[in-house]
Structure formats: C-alpha cells, structure tokens
Structure 1
Amino acid sequence: MLSRLRGNPWVRLALFLVVCACAGLALRANWEQARDAVASLPLWVLPAAVLAGMAGLTAQMLAWRALLAGMGSPLPYRVAARVMFVGQLGKYLPGSVWAFVAQVELARDWRVPRSRGAAATLLAVAVTVAVSLAVAAVALPLSSAGAARRWWWALALAPLLLAALHPRVLGWGIRLAARPFARFREVAGAGPLDVRGRAVAASVGWTLVAWVPLGLHVWLLTWAVGGEALRSLGPAAGGYALAWTLGLLVVFAPAGLGVREAVLVVALSPVLDAGAALVVAVLSRLVMTAADVGWAGLSVLLSGRTARPPESVDAPPA
C-alpha cells in the first residue's frame, strides 16, 4: 500500500508542490531581509553571484553522480541533475532528511535501488564534509583567526575525514551499515554495495572544483559591501566552506538556517564589521536559495521530454 502511494503521480505532484511552496517562501523571506542591501549593490553583482552558486551546485551534482556511477548505477547528466536538484528542494522543509529521502526516491525511478541511492547520497555528504573542512582548515587559520579558534575542533577533523575517504575504509563502512538490510537489498536486486577508488577520487575532485565558484559568490558579495578584494578571499572561501559544513550537519535547521549566518559573521570579521558581515550572510542565503530553485526548474525543463522513468526496480517481473 505504501509503495503504491509513493508511486502515485498525484501524490508525487502534491508533494512536489508543497516542497516548491516551501522553497518559494524561503526565497521570499530571504528577499525581504536582503531587499535594502540589494538596492545598494552594483546591478551585475547579484546575477553573477547566483551564476557562481549554480556553477558550484553543478560540480556537487557531478560529484554525487560519480559516486553513483562507481557503485554501478550511472545516470545520464540530465537525469542526474533532475534527481539531485529537485530532490534537494526537500532541504527547505524542517529536517534535512527530506532532501535525502526525495533524492533516493527520485533515483529509484531510474533503476537505482534504494540501498545504492542511499549509500551514494551518504557518501556524497561524507565527501562534501571532508573536503569542505579541508578547504576551511587551509584558508581560515591564515585569514580569520577568530573563526579558526572558535571552531578548531571542526577544522581538526579535516585530515581524519580525508583519510576516511580511502575506498577500503568507505567499503568497510558501507558493508557494516548495510549488513542489517542485506536481505532487503537482495530482494531489490541491488547486489553488493562497493565503491571504486576512481569514483571516490572523481567525487573529491569535483567537490574541490565546487568550492571555487561557491567561494567566489561570497567573495563577490563581500567585496560589494566594502571588503578589500585581496584580504577577503581567504575569509570568504574558508568561512563559507565551514558555514556550509556546519549548516549541513545541523539537520533540524532547514538548509542550515541560522548556522551558516553565524559562522560567516565571525569568519568575515577581519574584513567587515558585524553589520556588513550579516548583510553578506543574508545575501548569500538569498543567492543560494535562488540557485537551488533555478537549477530545480532548469533540470525539469531540460529533462522534460527525455526523462521518462523506466520500469521501477521493485516492480514484479512480467
């Protein structure tokens, strides 16, 4: 009964509309908070920041797709974009778990077993956390000592988490976590949950690439509100990497609401006063919400004609 309900197109449409409404409300709330600040910016800054944010999200999608392909379920680029970007709108609901559930369910429409989709998504989170903390650990001690001192414990985890990305360690962790569900995995036809070293390396590489445009969007905003161009590079990139990571780990806050802003204000303190740093944090929230909504809409349009889900992985044989 539950499986039929999940597969009902009307139920899915209703859930999609609810998620879109929540994302729209978040976009409106962020706009109302940032409207006065936007009026004082050069006209090109906000669109450039949104494009940079979308570029960063693209690289993150490719990192997740590489892991999924390395586990035996390669998806076409347009399909992978639709699955990830539409699913990620679930993070605007209270509790980040909804984005995870939506992504797994959407991937299942394309013959990706739930166990494999869940494993790939969890691995993508692990790669994001490890690489983001490494970026912050490199950038913040030299550019924002206050942030480095306050969150030293998170930065200290970076080398340990990077070491844990070794394929043997990841494989052991996946098998250990999946052991209680082995019977269900066999029924679903998922097979063993292994990840190739090349896929992990590709995911790490794409995640590193993502932090170039993601850091760029914060740097643009910081510069636009009065920060010195060169001095702002380290606090912007490192501060946002740490803010993103801690916001991701606080699962009860929708899209890390409040956490990112608090971290960014501290990280940007060497180049901006508290008021201007808060403006950057609010503008960044607006930019990334627009990037999320924009990519979700584009992915639906781009895959509209070609993205016809095949027979479900759990469907009985004919």
Structure 2
Amino acid sequence: MEPPSYAAQPDGGGWPDRPGLDTKPRESGAPGRVKKFGPPIIQLGLTVVVTWFIFDRVGVDLALLRTLDPGEWRPRPVLFVSSCALLVLGYLWSATLWGRLVRDLGGPRLPVWTTVRVFMVANLGRYVPGKIWQIAGLAYLAKREGVQASVATGAAILGQGIALLAAVLVGIGALFGANELWRQIGWGGLVASIGAALTIITLVVVPRFFRRVVAFWFRLTRTDPPVDGLGSGNAGLRWLVLYVLNWGIYATAFWLLYLSFGEWQTFLQVGPAFAAAYVVGYVAIFAPAGAGIREGVLVVLLQPIMAGEDATVLAVIARLWTTAIELIPAALLAAGWLGSEGTSEGTGETTS
C-alpha cells in the first residue's frame, strides 16, 4: 500500500531545460531504491536470516502457528470492507499528490482521473520482474499525457522521499500505544524518538534545509535533483503535512483491518505500527519490497496486544490485503484504458 519505490530515471536523462533546473545528465545506473545491495542470492540470504532472527526473538512458535484454525480468521464484513475502501482512498490520495508535485516541478495540470490512471497503472510495473518497468511505465504513460518523463519520475521520487519522512512521524505514534513498548524503550528511547520527529520537521520546514535534503535524496536515488520549482512558499511543510495525512489514511485502514479480525484496541496501539514496519522494511535495502522484514517488525509491534502467532497471521493477511487492493483497481484501469484505445483506433480506421 505504500507509495511506490521509484528508482533512477531509466535513461539517466536530465531535468527539463528551463530556468532553475539542473539539465546536466547523470550516468545511468541500475534502478533501485538506492545502490544495489549485492547479488540477488546475497539479498535473499540476508532477508531470510534477518527475518528468522526477528521471529525467533519475539518467540513465534511455528508448530503452534500450523495449528491455528483458519475458520477463526473470518473478518467482520463491515469493518473489513471499510478498511478496503479506506486503503483505496489512500492510494487515490497518493496519486493525487503525485499530480500536484508534477505541477510544482513545472509540469502541466492533469485532470484528477488522468492522474490516478497514470499513477496506478504504472504501479503494475512493480509486479513485473525487473526494477525498470515501474519507472519506465510511469515515464511512458505520463509522456502520453503531455508530462515530460523527467518531471513525472522526479515528482514520484521526491514524493517517495517526503512520504518516507511522513511515515516515520506516523510510526513514532506506536511508542505511545502499548504500555509494554513504553517500558521497553524507556525515557532514552522516548527522547530519541521525539528528537527524530523534531529533526524531520525542522529539515522539512526550513526551506534552506529542505532543499539540501531534497538534493541528498536525489543523489541517493541517483537522479538529477530539482534546483528550483518545488512550489512557492514553504513547500516542504505543505508536502509533509499532505503526506502525513496520506499515511494517516493508511494507518487507519490497517487499524480497521485489525478490528475486523481482533478485539477492540485503540488506534495508537495498532495503526502507527503499520507505518513503522513500512519504514524499517524500506530501509532494509536487501529485502525486495521489505518482504519478511516488514512483517517481522509488525509482529514485534503488535505482540503487546496479541499473541505472536496471531500477529504473524495478521501480518501475512496485511501483505495480501495491500497487494490485492492495489492490483485489482490498477488492473481494471489498465484494461479500461486499453479497451478505450482499441475502440478509438477501430473508429479511426472505419472513418478513414
């Protein structure tokens, strides 16, 4: 459900040639969230080892996990449907934010429906082997709507960076949920967490710092950073607030998913854990899409309110839930798009 992890531009192209933007192209590299972390076999090995370590530390009993009755995991329909609807809203909100970032970087104002269609259909590329397809698809689809490829991908990369900071802020809320977590981290952990939140806010709110953070993020993802065109006024604060709201929607959707299977718990005991798990899974660059790592961290954060085995099942359900809710609407949009193009081409051939 997270915002897509966009990589470097597929051809290493620079930003559009206009005042305030760096047009010097960089060397192209293998796309990825950051520099590739070794051969695939090493990435897989690290993912398995770290995931096993996390589940071992929290004491998940695999034998007991196999004895769980699937019949006990029947969701409450109203809450489950509500969680799905809210998750879809989160995806739509993320797509809309990408469209607004396109405008801030000098691109055209796209209709809302076009923005959603381009963004979500491009996300299908994440499920195709090879990391190039998502960003190449976004560049191709956006270009057909009059958006330069560099602007389209630049907006996605910038949005991903701000969304990651927003997820950290929302994820910190997990420390204020379960009493057990509070006792485990102690005052030192609490002070460090608050300090991290204040640091993020300062780096984004102060325009001079924000531009340096943006430049660093684009170097990390090996793409050309925008020197200007980030919007008027305090653009960093505006985008941080919008992406915090976006992650608030995601966290609330996960809270409703939990309530559809489990007993009542407050939002702080459940929702922020999803954002925190996403952040850890994202920075674990050796794990494809944070697989295993994200689920392990989610189990750790949910263990104070549910058994480790139950938390493991919920983490797996959450992965399937986010994948299905992203794939189904995107596939329908893609099918509708292809169908409309086929109809228009057929009409053109008939009238010619």
Q: Deviations over 1:213-249 (max 9, x none)?
A: 322222223223333333xx11321100111222233
Q: Which residue of 1 aligns with 2:202?
A: 163
Alpha carbons of structure 1 residues 268 and 175: separation in structure 2 relative to 1, 3 Å: closer
CA RMSD of aligned residues (A): 3.8
Q: Which residue of 2 aligns with 1:196?
A: 231
The 5 A counterparts of 1:290-309 are 290-300=324-334
Q: Which residue of 1 aligns with 2:97?
A: 63
Q: Tell me, in whole angstroms, the C-alpha distance in 2 between the residues paired with 1:270 and 1:191.
A: 44
Q: Tell me, in whole angstroms, the C-alpha distance in 2 between the residues paired with 1:94 and 1:144.
A: 42
Q: Which residue of 2 aligns with 1:15?
A: none
Greater CA radius of gyration, 1 or 2? 2
User: Are the equivalent residues in 2 in contact too, given 1:243–1:261 (CA < 8 A)?
Assistant: yes
- More displaced 10-residue stretch of structure 1: 107-116 or 72-81: 107-116
Superposition deviation, residue 40 in structure 1: 2.3
Q: Runs of 4 or more off by more than 4 Å in structure 1?
A: 93-98, 152-156, 172-179, 190-193, 197-202, 301-308
User: Are the equivalent residues in 2 in contact too, given 1:248–1:255 (CA < 8 A)?
Assistant: yes
Superposition deviation, residue 196 in structure 1: 0.9
With structure 2 as the length reference, what TM-score do the two structures score? 0.63
Alpha carbons of structure 1 residues 274 and 211: separation in structure 2 relative to 1, 3 Å: same
Alpha carbons of structure 1 residues 193 and 103: separation in structure 2 relative to 1, 3 Å: farther
Q: Which residue of 1 aligns with 2:158?
A: 123
- More displaced 10-residue stretch of structure 1: 159-168 or 138-147: 138-147
Q: Tell me, in whole angstroms, the C-alpha distance in 2 between the residues paired with 1:276 and 1:66.
A: 40
Gaps in structure 1 of 5+ consecutive residues:
4-32, 309-318
Q: Deviations over 1:243-278 (max 9, x none)?
A: 122223334534322122111111111211111111
Query: Identity rate of aligned residues, in percent?
Result: 23
The 5 A counterparts of 1:66-77 are 66-73=100-107, 74-77=109-112
Alpha carbons of structure 1 residues 176 and 156: separation in structure 2 relative to 1, 3 Å: closer
With structure 1 as the length reference, what TM-score do the two structures score? 0.68
User: Are the equivalent residues in 2 in contact too, given 1:174–1:193 (CA < 8 A)?
Assistant: no
* Residue 143 (str. 1) matches residue 163 (str. 2): no
Q: Tell me, in whole angstroms, the C-alpha distance in 2 between the residues paired with 1:170 and 1:111.
A: 28
- More displaced 10-residue stretch of structure 1: 160-169 or 74-83: 160-169
Which residue among 229, 238, 255 is the counterpart of 2:265?
Answer: 229
The one-letter code matched in structure 2 to 1:196 is: G
Q: Tell me, in whole angstroms, the C-alpha distance in 1 between the residues paired with 2:201 and 2:129.
A: 29
Q: Secondary structure at the match of 2:77?
A: coil
Alpha carbons of structure 1 residues 192 and 115: separation in structure 2 relative to 1, 3 Å: farther
Alpha carbons of structure 1 residues 162 and 234: separation in structure 2 relative to 1, 3 Å: same
User: Are the equivalent residues in 2 in contact too, given 1:144–1:235 (CA < 8 A)?
Assistant: no
Which residue among 216, 219, 228 is the counterpart of 2:252?
Answer: 216
Q: Tell me, in whole angstroms, the C-alpha distance in 2 between the residues paired with 1:94 and 1:145.
A: 41
The 5 A counterparts of 1:77-92 are 77-92=112-127
The structure with the largest helix share of the pair is 1
The 5 A counterparts of 1:35-74 are 36=70, 40-73=74-107, 74=109
User: Are the equivalent residues in 1 in contact too, given 2:157–2:218 (CA < 8 A)?
Assistant: no
Alpha carbons of structure 1 residues 110 and 175: separation in structure 2 relative to 1, 3 Å: farther
Q: Tell me, in whole angstroms, the C-alpha distance in 2 between the residues paired with 1:122 and 1:245.
A: 16
Q: Tell me, in whole angstroms, the C-alpha distance in 2 between the residues paired with 1:251 and 1:306.
A: 39
User: Are the equivalent residues in 2 in contact too, given 1:59–1:206 (CA < 8 A)?
Assistant: no
Q: Tell me, in whole angstroms, the C-alpha distance in 1 between the residues paired with 2:104 and 2:72.
A: 43
User: Are the equivalent residues in 2 in contact too, given 1:136–1:155 (CA < 8 A)?
Assistant: no
Q: Tell me, in whole angstroms, the C-alpha distance in 2 between the residues paired with 1:306 and 1:59.
A: 25
User: Are the equivalent residues in 2 in contact too, given 1:96–1:251 (CA < 8 A)?
Assistant: no
* Residue 106 (str. 1) matches residue 141 (str. 2): yes
Which residue among 263, 286, 300 is the counterpart of 1:266?
Answer: 300
Gaps in structure 2 of 5+ consecutive residues:
1-9, 12-65, 343-352
**Number of equivalent positions:** 267
